[in-house]
A and B are shown apart, each in its own frame.
Chain A
Amino acid sequence: EIVLTQSPGTLSLSPGERATLSCRASQSVSSSYLAWYQQKPGQAPRLLIYGASSRATGIPDRFSGSGSGTDFTLTISRLEPEDFAVYYCQQYGSSLVYTFGQGTKLEIK
């Protein structure tokens, strides 16, 4: 089973700053099978990015995804107050199991 490790565990930034979140896989992941989600307290996760770099419908262009192989990145170019949440990466791989990273909490500094 592919393990996804997200870093940092917590990221403290101010509105207007740039956020860079990392997701590292224990084995190579096809870019088609890497997605990112945002989760706010008491809510279900919301799809942000699929196929490593494609924005989901309605997602602002300040969110972008990149990477390949074992290293993937979610970037938020200029943080808005509503962006402070927990972010998860998710993959589907050769083990035929969908797995999620442990999450990165983006908090207001």
Chain B
Amino acid sequence: QVQLQESGPGLVKPSQTLSLTCTVSGGSISSGDYYWSWIRQPPGKGLEWIGYIYYSGSTYYNPSLKSRVTISVDTSKNQFSLKLSSVTAADTAVYYCARLEESVASYFDYWGQGTLVTVSS
């Protein structure tokens, strides 16, 4: 059973960089069968896809966030990470990492439990 777990600071100051890591267990990021994504959800609101990375390091980001987002992968640790720069209060959200299936259909089949990141001074 694949499991994903987010980790990182729960509080970030405005204008600083938000950094989160997702650790994958029960499956290898290097298998090449999936993409690895970040999705966020502001309190009481809907879901927003941030971007994904493939085990090779190729990435694709939501154009609305592209200028501030970097997703990286560490296959030796079976982890992938998110950096979001120049954060504001609007970036306060629960951040989820998720596995993206793209072979026959497109969907997020495994999700981490989510981690709340608050942007505040």
Whether A and B are associated in the same complex: the answer reads yes
Interface residues of A (CB under 8 A from B): 32-33, 35, 37, 43-47, 50-51, 54, 56, 88, 90, 92, 96-103
Interface residues of B (CB under 8 A from A): 37, 46-49, 60, 62-63, 96, 98, 100-101, 104-109, 111-114
Q: Across the interface, which residues of A come within 8 angstroms of B106, CB to CB?
A: 32-33, 35, 50, 92, 98
From B46, B98, B100, B107, name the one whose CB has the most chain A CB atoms within 10 angstroms: B107
**With the chains together, A35 CA to B49 CA distance in Å?**
14
**With the chains together, A98 CA to B104 CA distance in Å?**
16
**With the chains together, A46 CA to B108 CA distance in Å?**
9
Leading 5 A-B pairs by shortest Cβ distance: A44-B111, A35-B107, A98-B49, A50-B107, A51-B105
Given A32-B106, A98-B100, A100-B49, 19 extra CB contacts under 8 A: A33-B105, A33-B106, A35-B106, A35-B108, A37-B108, A44-B111, A44-B113, A44-B114, A45-B108, A45-B111, A46-B111, A47-B107, A50-B109, A51-B104, A51-B107, A88-B46, A90-B108, A100-B48, A103-B46
